Amino acid sequence: MAVLDRFLHYVTFDTQSSETTGVTPSTPGQRRFAEALVAELQAIGLEEISLDENGYLMATLPANTEKAVPTIGFIAHLDTSPDLSGRDVKPRIVAYTGGDIVLNEAQRIVLSPDMFPELNDYVGQELVVTDGTTLLGADDKAGVAAIIEAMRELKEHPEWIHGKIRIAFTPDEEIGAGADHFDVEKFGCAWGYTIDGGQVGELEYENFNAAVAKITFKGLNVHPGYAKNKMLNASLRATEFAAWLPETMRPETTEGYEGFFHLIGMTGSVEEATLSYIIRDHDRALFEEKKQLIQQLAARMNAAYPGCATVEMRDQYYNMREVVEPQKQVVDLAFEAMQAVGVQPLVKPIRGGTDGARLSFMGLPCPNIFAGGLNFHGRYEFLPVPSLEKSMQTILKIIDLAAKK
């Protein structure tokens, strides 16, 4: 089965994760997908296949050389984003010649280079698109397909010398829980790579430091006809607080290494209101300053309205650069592999996070490599077929170079 065929099969599994269930994996579709992958890995001939109670799937391709070659791991996630439905995905392949792609004529859903100019980079290529009613699922089923097809290639070509290879597929990455139950010791690798990046060439070993904050505002409700000097409207205090945060530190006004406060949810009445934020910055010191600003603004609110505001805040993950950079050869190996297969490496910071960030701090240095898709998490997601093939070829070349070095 070619890597494209694998991908087209994998997107038929509905594997959206959910933040509301409180179990791991958070949805049964992820377990069903993992069980189907177990059968595929068995058919390929991999060993030490294990699927644990939390939906973490691991397997081994044994070394075929007596040379001392480090054990390398490759990781992708089973789930798709809960931002848009991943059920009944209807992928189709378009030979792209430029201009608009009509995804759904009845609903007037069009993938256009006017909105997504990166389409112009793929003129002359085959693209996998949706019918506009679901996401595609290249994040990260393209990564799953690239890893498994690479393992099949190595099994079918025993003349290709390689060390021991470990692969893993994790649940619930899209809700920030992909590393929660990952057994790094059991995985047993010197280092690893998540195959979870976007456009062809992406190579990332820097990501945001990340935290979540929930600010709750308490008010006092009085009949509005008699409210003068008595009412405290919690919803108004919440909007006042939100306005205090700098407009220049929002996702829509930042890029590159610039961090932000992102208001992701709000509720409100006169009696009580809440603001939910994610806080992001690549620089650890600036990250801490952003968290302190939230606390300072809450204190400012409480100085004006005693007892009004309370803050709940927790860190989610940190910038893997702290861990990976001292072992830069891990990144250099991927860089060399991309060049060897005709891919121009794009080394840049992730304006987000991956399982690899947390795994790096758990003892598994784990940069992120492209899987090839673009416009993740939405109806305009697409996957250039050559990019998917290059992802698989990059995996094979990393393994080849590691054995030769």
Which positions are annotated as active-site residues?
79, 173
Identify the three-state secondary structure at position 69: coil
Residues paired with residue 167 on neighbouring β-strands, in sequence order: 59, 74
Here the tokens at position 370 are: 């492209």
d(CA 31, CA 316) in angstroms, rounded, equals 25
Q: How far is CA 267 from CA 39, 234, 247, in A?
A: 46, 10, 21
- Buried b / exposed e over 8-38, threshold 16 CB at 10 Å, is bebbebbbbbbeeeeebbbbebbbbbbeebb
CA distances from 101 to 107, 130, 386 (A): 13, 10, 18
48: which residues sit within 8 A by CB, 6+ positions away?
58, 59, 60
**SS3 helix, strand, coil % of the chain, rounded to 5?**
35, 25, 40
Q: Which of 95, 98, 94, 101 is nearest to 132 (CA)?
A: 101
- Residue 220 host element (H or E): none
The answer to whether the beta carbons of residues 86 and 30 sit under 8 Å apart is no
Contacts of 316 (CB under 8 A, 6+ apart): 176, 210, 211, 212, 353
How many whole angstroms separate alpha carbon 365 and alpha carbon 356?
7
The residues pairing with 127 across neighbouring beta strands, listed in sequence order, are 94, 384
